Amino acid sequence: MGSNGAAPGEDADTDADDDSGHRRPRVLFLCTGNSARSQMAEALLVHLSEGTVDTASAGSRPKPLHPNAVKTMRRRGIDISTNRSKHVDELLARRFDVVITLCDRVREVCPEFPSHPELVHWSVPDPALEGDTDRATYPAFERTATELETRIPFLLHTLNPSPRRTTDANR
């Protein structure tokens, strides 16, 4: 089950409304394995948006959730231990406003989505490749989470612009 409450393969568009009846923005994070970066980004966006953004993640070649991704997020008070890695094909029928690729490999194979979302690329190194053991890679997972924690508030600002913003600020 994704962060939007829909079972895999279901179209969650019907439950993407907030309490006021407005459609929540929909964001998909993609990386190759959907085992670390995209899972962490999904969890951080749900957490930092306080659930106001319908968020999902997937990969082009899914691998099991990395234990250091779970540990890193747990240190931030976020539990992703029950998350499941998904192939991007499972989400092709879903509508997204923004698709964010987190690695160069998945950017090259990113499929076309019927909803024609905005495509954004954040080149974030794979923390699992930073060492030979989970202990050796853990600092890289922390750096990855910190980088995502820096980027996501900027994303949130573009998804939910403040009503005070003027037309000149949008140029």
- On whether residue 45 sits in a domain, the answer given is yes
* DSSP H or E run through 148: helix 134-159
- Give the domain range for residue 74: 32-154
Question: What mean pLDDT value characterizes the chain?
Answer: 83
- On whether residue 104 sits in a domain, the answer given is yes
Q: Which of 35, 36, 6 is nearest to 142 (CA)?
A: 36
Can 100 be counted among the known catalytic residues? no
pLDDT at residue 7 tops 90: no
Can 41 be counted among the known catalytic residues? no
Which tens digit of pLDDT belongs to each residue from 73-82?
A: 999 999 999 9
- On whether residue 16 sits in a domain, the answer given is no
Q: Which one is catalytic: 78, 98, 110, 119?
A: 110
Higher pLDDT, 13 or 135: 135
- On whether residue 129 sits in a domain, the answer given is yes
Q: Which one is catalytic: 12, 30, 31, 40?
A: 31
How many domains are contained in the chain? Answer: 1
Higher pLDDT, 70 or 130: 70
160-168 own/partner pairs: CB under 8 Å, 24+ apart: 160/25, 160/49, 160/52, 160/53
- On whether residue 71 sits in a domain, the answer given is yes
Can 110 be counted among the known catalytic residues? yes
Per-residue pLDDT, 164: 38
- On whether residue 27 sits in a domain, the answer given is no
Which tens digit of pLDDT belongs to each residue from 30-46?
A: 999 999 999 999 999 99
Question: What confidence tier does 20 reach under pLDDT thresholds 50, 70, 90?
Answer: low
Per-residue pLDDT, 19: 55
Q: Which ranges of 29-95 does DSSP label H, i.e. alpha helix? A: 37-48, 67-74
pTM: 0.81
- On whether residue 23 sits in a domain, the answer given is no
pLDDT at residue 16 tops 80: no
Which tens digit of pLDDT belongs to each residue from 129-140?
A: 998 888 999 999
Question: What confidence tier does 160 reach under pLDDT thresholds 50, 70, 90?
Answer: confident
**Which SS3 state, helix, strand or coil, does residue 120 take?**
strand
- On whether residue 108 sits in a domain, the answer given is yes
CATH number for the domain including 142? 3.40.50.2300
Q: Which one is catalytic: 103, 106, 155, 156?
A: 103
Question: What confidence tier does 8 reach under pLDDT thresholds 50, 70, 90?
Answer: very low
The residues facing 61 across adjacent strands are none
